Amino acid sequence: MDTTVQQLLASEEPSVRFRVLVHVLDQPRDSPEIRDLQEEIRSSARVRTLLSDRAADGTIPYHPYAKWYGAHWVLAALADLGYPPGDASLVPLREQVLACWLSPRHVAGVPVIQGRPRRCASQEGNALWALLTLGLADERADALARNLLRWQWPDGGWNCDKRPEAASSSFHESLLPLRGLALYARNTGAQHGV
């Protein structure tokens, strides 16, 4: 494994080095080396490409969930790459994402079939995780977390399958909400609800 780690640490891609240092070698995110690396990530070609469609007002002129280039996916990718937290220039993207996932129409439109909410909660879960990771969360992160908990199935996960016979959570719809809620709990100290 040491050879693999050394090869990854020699990568020209700063996000690869970041992930190895932080997620494999447990380097503290607030260390000078990681902060310098995050600045390298900020100016990387990959990040420039992700942000290349921003308009003059800082928004991305597509539906926030347009795969893989809408604001939702761009924020998730930036968080995953190790983009430095607290960049105010990303606030317009945050606003697009929250306007989508917290709109009254969206929230009220979640169907309940056989007593279970049918929601692709990976969307809210991914948004919650990305906003927290990027240091962009505000009080509306509480609303994302509340909605996720409200839509959670008795077995602990989520599912958007509208077939009445669907009776268990979907792994794919549960992984991202759990990741977002775990980070939310770590950041806020919330243990049993919001």
pLDDT at 31 over 70: yes
- Cβ neighbours of residue 51 under 8 Å, at least 6 residues apart? 74
CA–CA distance, 160 with 101 (Å, rounded to integer) = 15
Q: What is the 3-state secondary structure (H, E, C) of 78-95?
A: HHHHCCCCCCHHHHHHHH
Query: Which two structure tokens, joined as six digits, stand for 53?
Result: 């469609």
CATH number, domain 44-188:
1.50.10.20
Q: What percentage of the chain exceeds 70 in pLDDT?
A: 97
Domain segments of the chain as ranges: 1-42, 44-188
CA–CA distance, 33 with 21 (Å, rounded to integer) = 9
Q: What percentage of the chain exceeds 90 in pLDDT?
A: 96
Q: Dihedral (C-alpha) 171, 176, 182, 185: value to the nearest 10 degrees?
A: -130
Confidence of residue 118 (pLDDT cuts 50, 70, 90): very high
Residue recorded with tokens 């390298």: 40
